[in-house]
Amino acid sequence: MIDIRFIRENGDLVKENIKKKFQDEKLPLVDEVKALDEEFRAKKTKADELRGDKNRISKEIGGFMAKGEKDKAEECKKRVVEINEELLHLEEDEVKLEEEIKKRMIIIPQIIDDSVPIGKDDSENVEVQRYGEAKKPDFEIPHHIDIMESLLGVDLDASRNTSGHGFYFLQGDVARLHSAITSYARDFMINRGYTYHIPPFLIRSDVVTGVMSFKEMEDMMYKIQGEDLYLIGTSEHSMIGKFINTLTPEEEMPLKLTSYSPCFRKEVGAHGIEERGVYRVHQFEKQEMVIICKPEESMDWYNDLWKNSVDFFRSLEIPVRTLECCSGDLADLKVKSVDVEAWSPRQEKFFEVGSCSNLGDAQARRLNIRLRGENGNYFAHTLNNTVVATPRALIAFLENMYQEDGSIRIPKVLQPYMGGQEKLVAKK
């Protein structure tokens, strides 16, 4: 959410930013906010004047009573009653106006960084760099479900019976491999100085609306019926929410956090949810990294975060690339974002396995996450990035480690998490 003062002083810039994101239908919101804000401030000024009059008149009542001038005192009392009634109406108007302003403010997109490429949608995202050699072996790579089934590692039929499409049973070596990857990701981030967390998997609506846009919430979140609780779509939601209404000394910055959680997503509007495989699912597990920092340091931490993801996948010998998200592909709260994509030798293309985002002060402003500095209090900046999300990372791993004899090679970094196994052998 943008600072209201910025909108007052830079309305044209805010409109230009909306155009860069190809959301012209939101352009009227800027003038609406400015008009409502002007009306709000006028009523607030009037209310402050009336409170001053009330205090002055209240003091006069005591003076008139002391002098025995009861008639004048009664006139003053009547005026105080009139002021109270007028204040009541003004305060009600202020609350309504604040609500109307906020309703519009939360859907005006954050000002994007100047370096963000301009484009309408994800088809115009820009490749930044590749890491590792993306190549296809001279033997066929099966579909990831065929690989899992050859290891007796997945049961999709049973999951459809228990839960429907978009769910899965992992079992045996594949289930162990899944856990090994997430455990390795946990230790990878701890070794880089991040504090490990396991957060709540359910959060209240005030946290949900603080960390994401309303459209994202509607398309992603599962709500618990009859309760003000939502299943998280990523542990970032809980981790940022942990600091709601906090004031932290700036010398404690940055806060470097890494967190594990299951994740639940409705995937409304997603294509392929019923296609064969476990690429896009309703439930998965994830290791996340989160930074809370001073504004002037956020872009440095942004670059540090996405590099962690690249280093993680390269340590597993998986080729990756970074893809800069264009303006039209950025969620409204994001200032800048880059996707990390892993190589699929079967499809001979890259696919998304994680996303790194700098949200500026958008989440902090919504959740009142502030820092205390020498020159006063100010809003923090928040950032997040995926270390690893399964089963997407599992797909990339199985395809890239697949051998001609049908076995799966286990890289050295992962062997301690797999009981020392150097490979998985197909069972059928």
- What HEC string does the chain produce? CCCHHHHHHCHHHHHHHHHHCCCHHHHHHHHHHHHHHHHHHHHHHHHHHHHHHHHHHHHHHHHHHHHCCHHHHHHHHHHHHHHHHHHHHHHHHHHHHHHHHHHHHCCCCCCCCCCCCCCCCHHHCEEEEEECCCCCCCCCCCCHHHHHHHCCCEEHHHHHHHCCCCCCEECHHHHHHHHHHHHHHHHHHHCCCCEEECCCCEECHHHHHHHCCHHHHHHHCEECCCCCCEECCCHHHHHHHCCCCEEEEHHHCCEEEEEEEEEECCCCCCCCCCCCCCCCCCEEEEEEEEEEECHHHHHHHHHHHHHHHHHHHHHCCCCEEEEECCHHHCCCCCCEEEEEEEEECCCCEEEEEEEEEECCCHHHHHHCEEEEECCEEEECEEEEEEEEEECHHHHHHHHHHECCCCCEECCHHHHHHHCCCCEECCCC
Q: How far is CA 190 from CA 158, 176, 196, 285, 308, in A?
A: 36, 21, 6, 18, 12
Is 268 a residue whose pLDDT tops 70? no
Structural domains for the chain: 4-105 (1.10.287.40), 122-424 (3.30.930.10)
Mean pLDDT of the 257-269 span: 88
Cis peptide before 254 (omega within 30 of 0): yes
What is the percent of the chain where pLDDT is above 90? Answer: 87
| Residue written as token pair 């609306």 | 209
Assigned token pair, 373? 């500095």
Mean pLDDT of the 124-148 span: 95
Each residue's pLDDT tens digit, 334-390: 999 999 999 999 999 999 999 999 999 999 999 999 999 999 999 999 999 999 998
Mean pLDDT over each residue of the chain, to the nearest integer? 94
Mean pLDDT of the 68-72 span: 87
Is 33 a residue whose pLDDT tops 60? yes
d(CA 331, CA 363): 12
Neighbours of 240 (CB within 10 A): 28
Each residue's pLDDT tens digit, 3-26: 999 999 999 999 999 999 999 999
Beta-ladder partners of 389? 286
Assigned token pair, 188? 């990878």
Task: Give the pLDDT confidence score for residue 271 in this predicted structure.
Answer: 54
Q: How many residues does the chain have?
A: 428
Is 395 a residue whose pLDDT tops 80? yes
Contact 231, 202 (CB under 8 A): yes
Is 274 a residue whose pLDDT tops 60? no
Mean pLDDT of the 93-116 span: 95
Contact 256, 195 (CB under 8 A): yes
d(CA 374, CA 376): 6
d(CA 121, CA 269): 15
pLDDT tier for residue 1 given thresholds of 50, 70 and 90 = confident
Task: Give the pLDDT confidence score for residue 115 in this predicted structure.
Answer: 96
Q: How far is CA 211 from CA 20, 258, 310, 369, 427, in A?
A: 22, 17, 25, 12, 45
pLDDT tier for residue 65 given thresholds of 50, 70 and 90 = confident
Is 273 a residue whose pLDDT tops 80? no
Each residue's pLDDT tens digit, 179-236: 999 999 999 999 999 999 999 999 999 999 899 876 777 788 999 999 999 999 999 9
d(CA 6, CA 15): 12
Is 54 a residue whose pLDDT tops 80? yes
Is 125 a residue whose pLDDT tops 90? yes
Task: Give the pLDDT confidence score for residue 403 in this predicted structure.
Answer: 96
Is 405 a residue whose pLDDT tops 60? yes
Is 131 a residue whose pLDDT tops 90? yes
Each residue's pLDDT tens digit, 342-352: 999 999 999 99
d(CA 74, CA 214): 53
d(CA 256, CA 36): 39
